Every structure is written in C-alpha cells, then in structure tokens.
C-alpha cells in the first residue's frame, strides 16, 4: 500500500460507539489498538488518523484492513 500503509487486520472489529462521541480511526494500519489510532503513524511516517463522530449509539463494524471505500466503516473490501 502507498504511504507506508499496511493492513491492521483482515476483518472488521465490532465496536460499541456512543452517539455524539468522537473517535479516532487508524488509517495507516500501524496502530496496536485497532481499529483506533495509537499514534503509530508518526514513527511509521504514514497517514494520520481520521476523526469521526458516531451518529447513533450502536455497534459499528470498523475497518481494520484500511481498504474500505467508506471509512471508517467496513464495506467488505477486506475479502
């Protein structure tokens, strides 16, 4: 992948998110806290995190492979 990105996993992670709360999605795959950013992109000189806000309180399936076309959500591109 470009920009020193890598897959952070091969399947989405089910995350219980809260409406109105902000989260930080790892875009580069280097975080040890998938699917969220742990700052690992800095040492890896890769892409920065993506901040997003949950619209509803529910379980979301968050992408770890970094190939989704609908970040931060899994769109099935990992297969």
Task: Give the residue with the Cβ less far from ligand FES, 11 or 14.
Answer: 11
CB-based burial, 25-37: b 16+ in 10 Å, e otherwise: bbbbbbbeebbbb
Shortest Cβ 8–ligand FES spacing (Å): 9
CB 34 within 8 A of CB 9: yes
Site for ligand FES in 7-66 (CB under 6 A): 11-12, 63-65
Determine how many CB atoms are found less than 10 A away from the CB of residue 77.
12
Task: Give the residue with the Cβ less far from ligand FES, 20 or 50.
Answer: 50
Applying CB under 6 A, the residues found at the interface with ligand FES are 11-12, 63-65, 67-68, 74-78
């Amino acid at each position: 992948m470009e920009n020193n990105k890598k897959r952070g996993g091969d399947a989405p992670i089910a995350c219980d998110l809260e409406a109105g709360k902000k989260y930080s999605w790892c875009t580069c795959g280097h975080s040890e806290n998938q699917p969220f950013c742990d700052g690992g992109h800095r040492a890896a000189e890769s892409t920065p995190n993506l901040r997003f806000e949950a619209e509803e309180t529910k379980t979301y399936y968050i992408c770890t492979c970094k190939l989704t076309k609908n970040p931060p959500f899994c769109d099935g591109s990992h297969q």
